[in-house]
Amino acid sequence: MSTVESLLSAHLSAAFSTLTGVMSDPQVHRSARADFQSNAALALAPALGLSSREVATAVVTAADLGDVATASVSGPGFINLTLLPPALNRLLGAMAADPRLGVPLVSAPETVVIDYSGPNVAKEMHVGHLRSTIIGDCLLRVLRFTGHNVIPVSHIGDWGTPFGMLLERLVEIGEDSGSLSIGDLDAFYKAARHRFDTDPDFADRSRQRVVLLQGGDPETLRLWKLLTSESARYFMAVNSRLSVLLTPSDFVGESFYNDQLASIVSELDSKGLLRQSSGAQCVFPPGFTGRYGEPFPLIVRKSDGGFGYAATDLAAIRHRALVLGGQRVLYVLGTPQSQHLEMVFAVARQMGWLDGVAVKHVGFGSILGEDGKMLKSRRGKSVKLIDLLDEAVARAGEVNPSTATAVGIGAVKYADLSSAMVKDYVFDLERMLSLHGNTSVYLQYTHARALRVIHRAGTSPRSSDLAIADGQPGIGSPDAIAGGLRIETPQERALALALLAFPGAVQAVAAELEPHRLAGLLRDVAVAFTRFYEDCPVLNAEPGIRESRLVLCDLTARVLAQGLYLLGIEAPERM
């Protein structure tokens, strides 16, 4: 099934091409003026030596829109399109009968690697990891749903010099002391850092420990595994609290690339990209400069011989492109790491690893406290992710214990996914949990409300088990459903048009990697349903109208459930 936009485009493009001699995309989009609008006449007019109004008028006159829509020219040359009832019914019928709710599978599936979450061993996950985890999970769901082969990777910080002090600390306190248990890792990290800073002997032992670790000393590796596996357990606890789809096999830590780092350096060298700079081995990709305009290095090997974050990222990008076969590699990471990533991309291109591979930094802004500054706890420390989640669930539980997790976690995720990604946003639980705002609880409530109507009608609800990745059997023939539809009031029509925009919104997220496009559509559907519900009786409507309205309720519940699923948010049956 095609989207409404593509149906209308197909009808208009013939008229455009008779006029211009070339096929052009009429770029039909939703509009507040009419149902839909095409602005293509404006762009084409100069080449044709006509005014854009003339072009639009000629297209409208020539277009054969059948029973699909009526067209008229407005303003400087916009073509306004209004769907006619038969087409509206056919489109809704097809959508209702389709387990995928009209969302097409891509014709050319790609292998897409998404790097997200990426917490660090023996360190608390912070709110930056929260955003990365939530956004990455949403992109994974959407890209998978549209048919791509998605490989999630959590690039965990599990290697490097800090492990010297961490392992020494572990030796010092004894591995059975209980300090390694879930939730205490942060305190453990801080204690290790304190010992390192205040005791020169400890610092010495830590440096030796790094050498042992890098040399593969069995006892040191055993301790290291203890630490990393305890951290992995902790990350999984947070992931399952967030109900994101990451599993332990998606954790590919920095250590995974260890034995590739030396060959990365020699490859760079053989391509002539390596330069010595203050004892370190660096690459200077063109176009990157420091604060004073001087060439800026990507440090591959530090002067002490150790490999750093950048070397690992070079090995990782090579692996993703050449071994995993990624055709697209996405990095969901805060904007402060933008320069680092762009340099890694540039070097990987210079090395020829990215032929036919698209790489992209999907950047995001910060989460701010209510004072508008970076979110900090009352004691000025950085806020623990798990504490925020617990508080959200506790607050949601005060209203209804049985939906506490769905509502609390949903609120945190939705607040994140509904705002434009590059923007900072304020973490305000009060607002996030409000029933009267652009919140997930409003969507969840609307979903439950639509389901309740269906239950009360005695129709079997299909929506509850719809939140699945691949859809489920359809519910009747498109024509049969369309034939029974009677979309007559403005409220019904507005709801129908909002529902029909679902496939386009999912496709927009897949193309632009901006989850707020889908959040916005779900919000539109919920608002339209609320108006419909308030003004149009369903169960007491006359026969015929009743069934037609039940189809709208059913589609609303299914679109909200599937849409929330794609955002990673639960849709409880009852609220």
Contact 59, 51 (CB under 8 A): no
Choices 114-122, 162-170, 402-410, 460-468; region in contact with ligand ARG by CB under 6 A: 114-122
Choices 113-121, 168-176, 404-412, 500-508; region in contact with ligand ARG by CB under 6 A: 113-121
- CA–CA separation, 171 and 166 (whole Å): 9
The CB-nearest residue to ligand ARG is 118
Among 35, 115, 124, 570, which residue sits at the site for ligand ARG (rule: CB under 6 A)? 115
CB of residue 254 vs ligand ARG: minimum separation in angstroms? 8
Task: Please give the structure tokens belonging to residue 206.
Answer: 């830590």
CB of residue 388 vs ligand ARG: minimum separation in angstroms? 17
Question: If binding is defined by CB under 6 A, does position 253 make contact with ligand ARG?
Answer: no
CB of residue 406 vs ligand ARG: minimum separation in angstroms? 28
Task: Please give the structure tokens belonging to residue 27.
Answer: 């770029």
Question: If binding is defined by CB under 6 A, does position 155 make contact with ligand ARG?
Answer: yes
Q: Which is nearer to ligand ARG, 77 or 128 (CB)?
A: 128
Q: Which is nearer to ligand ARG, 44 or 359 (CB)?
A: 359
Q: What distances in angstroms separate CA 349 from CA 110, 342, 343, 354, one per listed residue? A: 20, 10, 10, 5
Cβ within 8 Å of residue 471, ≥6 positions away: 98, 99, 100, 101
**Is 295 in a helix, a strand, or coil?**
strand
Q: Which is nearer to ligand ARG, 302 or 531 (CB)?
A: 302
Site for ligand ARG in 363-392 (CB under 6 A): none
C-alpha angle 524/527/530, rounded to 5°?
A: 145
Among 26, 93, 102, 118, which residue sits at the site for ligand ARG (rule: CB under 6 A)? 118
Choices 62-70, 112-120, 274-282, 357-365; region in contact with ligand ARG by CB under 6 A: 112-120
Question: If binding is defined by CB under 6 A, does position 522 make contact with ligand ARG?
Answer: no
Cβ within 8 Å of residue 237, ≥6 positions away: 182
Residue span 56-95 as binding mask against ligand ARG, x where in contact by CB under 6 A, dash where not:
----------------------------------------
Q: What distances in angstroms separate CA 339 from CA 221, 270, 298, 334, 342, one per listed residue? A: 33, 25, 10, 11, 5
Q: Which residues pair with 360 in a beta bridge?
A: 330
Q: Of 441, 439, 451, whose CA–CA distance to 405 is shortest?
A: 441
Q: Cα(first)–Cα(last) distance of the chain, in Å?
A: 33
Q: Which is nearer to ligand ARG, 334 or 369 (CB)?
A: 334
Question: If binding is defined by CB under 6 A, does position 333 make contact with ligand ARG?
Answer: yes
Q: Of 358, 336, 153, whose CA–CA distance to 257 is shortest?
A: 153
Site for ligand ARG in 298-327 (CB under 6 A): 313, 316
Question: If binding is defined by CB under 6 A, does position 160 make contact with ligand ARG?
Answer: no
* Count of residues that bind ligand ARG according to CB under 6 A: 9
CB of residue 333 vs ligand ARG: minimum separation in angstroms? 5
Question: If binding is defined by CB under 6 A, does position 124 make contact with ligand ARG?
Answer: no
CB of residue 118 vs ligand ARG: minimum separation in angstroms? 3
Q: Which is nearer to ligand ARG, 313 or 524 (CB)?
A: 313
Q: Which is nearer to ligand ARG, 89 or 120 (CB)?
A: 120
Query: Look-up: residue for tokens 């006892």?
Result: 219
Among 157, 408, 478, 568, which residue sits at the site for ligand ARG (rule: CB under 6 A)? 157
Number of H helices, E strands in the chain: 21, 13
Question: If binding is defined by CB under 6 A, does position 255 make contact with ligand ARG?
Answer: no
CB of residue 347 vs ligand ARG: minimum separation in angstroms? 14
Cβ within 8 Å of residue 548, ≥6 positions away: 484, 485, 486, 487, 492
Helix/strand/coil (H, E, C) string of 49-116? CCCHHHHHHHHHHHCCCCCCEEEEEECCCEEEEEECHHHHHHHHHHHHHCCCCCCCCCCCCCEEEEEC
Q: Which is nearer to ligand ARG, 132 or 146 (CB)?
A: 132
Question: If binding is defined by CB under 6 A, does position 152 make contact with ligand ARG?
Answer: no
Cβ within 8 Å of residue 511, ≥6 positions away: none
Among 120, 206, 214, 419, which residue sits at the site for ligand ARG (rule: CB under 6 A)? 120
Q: Which is nearer to ligand ARG, 93 or 162 (CB)?
A: 162
Q: Which is nearer to ligand ARG, 288 or 565 (CB)?
A: 288
Question: If binding is defined by CB under 6 A, does position 158 make contact with ligand ARG?
Answer: no
Q: Which is nearer to ligand ARG, 264 or 506 (CB)?
A: 264
Contact 538, 549 (CB under 8 A): yes
Cβ within 8 Å of residue 478, ≥6 positions away: 90, 93, 94, 96, 97, 98
372 phi/psi in degrees, rounded to 5:
80, 0
Q: Which is nearer to ligand ARG, 85 or 334 (CB)?
A: 334
Summarize as ranges the residues that interact with ligand ARG (CB under 6 A): 115, 118, 120, 155, 157, 313, 316, 331, 333
